[in-house]
Structure 1
């Protein structure tokens, strides 16, 4: 089975306290659906190009089904909507090799 990675990138955070207030709830839901955080926090050093990121997370899942189930949870959808109002966020899912 190929692992699946959910990558979250924040390029601008307008309300750091607001983001902090929902981050733990989001992380708890991610873990409850089998996600394992590999990276979570602020990038510290660019090794090429310009780094316009304020914060990032990389979460590993065993399957696409786990990620899909997470995105169908109403509470998760609501928290992501809250997050979108306080941070300029890009997110994507990619399969491992």
Structure 2
């Protein structure tokens, strides 16, 4: 079985307190859908390239079905929309080893 990774990158955070207030709820939903945080934190330190990040998270799932189910939860969608107003975020899903 191939693991699936959900990668979240924040390049700018306009409201750190607002992000902190929803982070636990987001993490709880991720874990409830089988996600395991491999990386979650700040600050990041660039060692090459031009991508400047304030915060990043990498979450491992056992299957794409788990990730898909998470993205279909209304409360998760609402929290992600709220997050988009307080942080400049890019998110990716990638299959890995």
1:7-39 CA-partner distances (Å, limit 9, x unpaired)? 000000000000000000000000000000000
How far, CA to CA, are the matches of 2:7 and 2:92 in structure 1? 5
* Number of residue pairs the alignment of both structures matches: 97
Residue 47 of structure 1, CA deviation = 1.7
TM-score of the superposed pair, with normalisation by structure 2: 0.96
Check whether the contact 2:14–2:86 (CA below 8 A) recurs between aligned residues: yes
How far, CA to CA, are the matches of 1:49 and 1:66 in structure 2? 32
Query: Aligned with 1:47: secondary structure?
Result: coil
Check whether the contact 2:44–2:56 (CA below 8 A) recurs between aligned residues: no
Check whether the contact 2:44–2:55 (CA below 8 A) recurs between aligned residues: no
Residue 50 of structure 1, CA deviation = 3.2
How far, CA to CA, are the matches of 1:93 and 1:43 in structure 2? 22
Residue 46 of structure 1, CA deviation = 1.9
Could you list the structure 1 runs, at least 4 aligned residues long, displaced by more than 6 angstroms after superposition. Answer: none
Which stretches in structure 2 are left out of the alignment for 5+ residues?
none
Check whether the contact 2:36–2:59 (CA below 8 A) recurs between aligned residues: yes
Check whether the contact 2:9–2:55 (CA below 8 A) recurs between aligned residues: yes
Residue 52 of structure 1, CA deviation = 0.8
1:63-83 CA-partner distances (Å, limit 9, x unpaired)? 000000000000000000000
1:13 equivalent in alignment to 2:13:
yes
